[in-house]
């Protein structure tokens, strides 16, 4: 990982929903091969920031650059730019009438115009990568939540992205299924995939992230190595949040 070679550069980013100022003058960059976990309370702007990285949300001001291409440039071919950015959502967003294999080949054949046999080879490789080689013919209704989320990850990986975005990828899962998804994400981090992960899984952030970013009130309050930020945060807001998350009051 080279901090001097950013894959993602965000400068002066502002986003409003009506009169609600959701993101406030965000400056943020991610190096190639870096894993950044974004934490913070509900409504702090974490998911909106993530969605601005691939312009699923359009900011009112500021610039977003991914792999040296400015997505906020009006002349940018946004569809082409998004092909290098994989995104995994809270909900799995799989096509229910398609098998796991077909969910992964659809974009390869329709968007990248790959031949069916090549698309299937790529899809099978990525389903194996997430531990689902034996589920290629299964339909989403026959898969657990954790398996569906792993199919969603395989689908994103099949496009060979330079960057993976994860928006609370385990929040819709039963607790016993969370581990299988986090295991796949750990493996991707070990392989050197550049990742931005919005998460409430503090233990995962501590173990896997190169950097943790704490957001509150639409801004970045502080950021740093997980060993420092999660154990000795500088800012009172970070300390209060971590205390609530790590030491919840029993009912």
Give pLDDT tens digits for 112-148.
Answer: 999 999 999 999 999 999 999 999 999 999 999 999 9
Per DSSP, the three-state class of 113 is: coil
CATH number for the domain that contains residue 227 = 3.40.50.300
| Structural domain contains residue 18 | yes
Length in residues, the chain = 251
| Structural domain contains residue 202 | yes
* Count of domains observed in the chain: 1
CB-count exposure of residue 21 (10 Å: 0-12, 13-18, 19+) = middle
If you count DSSP H runs as helices and E runs as strands, how many of each does the chain have, helices first? Answer: 9, 10
- Cα angle, residue 157 at apex, residues 114 and 116 outer, rounded to 5°: 20
| Structural domain contains residue 203 | yes
Domain of residue 29: give its range.
8-246
* Closest among 69, 41, 39 to 53, alpha carbons compared: 69
pLDDT of residue 5: 75
Please determine, for residue 2, whether its predicted confidence score (pLDDT) is greater than 50.
Answer: no
Question: What pTM was estimated for this model as a whole?
Answer: 0.94
* Closest among 235, 187, 180, 251 to 40, alpha carbons compared: 235
Look up residue 95 and give its DSSP letter: -
| Structural domain contains residue 2 | no
pLDDT of residue 246: 85
Q: Provide the edge-to-edge strand list for the sheet that holds 163-167.
A: 85-88, 163-167, 194-198, 35-39, 211-216, 219-224
Cα end-to-end distance, the chain, whole Å: 44
Give pLDDT tens digits for 5-63.
Answer: 799 999 999 999 999 999 999 999 999 999 999 999 999 999 999 999 999 999 999 99
Give pLDDT tens digits for 61-120.
Answer: 999 999 999 999 999 999 999 999 999 999 989 999 999 999 999 999 999 999 999 999
| Structural domain contains residue 160 | yes
- Within 10 angstroms of residue 120's Cβ, the number of other Cβ atoms is 18
| Structural domain contains residue 3 | no
- Within 10 angstroms of residue 239's Cβ, the number of other Cβ atoms is 13
pLDDT-above-70 percentage for the chain: 97
Give pLDDT tens digits for 152-211.
Answer: 999 999 999 999 999 999 998 998 899 999 999 999 999 999 999 999 999 999 999 999
pLDDT of residue 3: 47
């Amino acid at each position: 990982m080279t901090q001097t070679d950013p894959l993602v550069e965000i400068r002066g980013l502002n986003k409003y929903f009506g009169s609600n100022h959701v993101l406030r003058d965000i400056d943020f960059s991610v190096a190639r091969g870096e894993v950044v976990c974004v934490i913070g309370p509900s409504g702090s702007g974490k998911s909106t920031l993530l969605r601005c990285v691939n312009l699923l949300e359009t900011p009112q001001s500021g610039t977003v650059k991914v792999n040296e291409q400015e997505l906020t440039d009006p002349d940018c071919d946004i569809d082409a730019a998004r092909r290098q950015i994989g995104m995994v959502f809270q909900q799995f967003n799989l096509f229910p009438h398609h098998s796991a294999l077909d969910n992964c080949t659809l974009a390869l054949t329709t968007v990248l115009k790959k031949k069916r046999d090549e698309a299937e080879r790529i899809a099978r490789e990525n389903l194996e990568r997430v531990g689902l080689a034996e589920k290629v013919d299964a339909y989403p209704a026959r898969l657990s939540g954790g398996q569906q989320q792993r199919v969603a990850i395989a689908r994103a990986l099949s496009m060979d992205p330079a960057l993976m975005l994860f928006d609370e990828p385990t929040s819709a899962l039963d607790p016993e299924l969370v581990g299988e998804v986090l295991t796949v994400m750990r493996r991707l981090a070990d392989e050197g995939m550049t990742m931005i992960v919005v998460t409430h899984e503090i233990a995962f952030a501590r173990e896997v992230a190169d950097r943790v970013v704490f957001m509150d009130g639409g801004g970045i309050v502080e950021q740093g190595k997980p060993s420092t930020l999660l154990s000795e945060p500088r800012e009172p807001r970070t300390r209060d949040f971590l205390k609530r998350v790590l030491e919840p009051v029993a009912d």
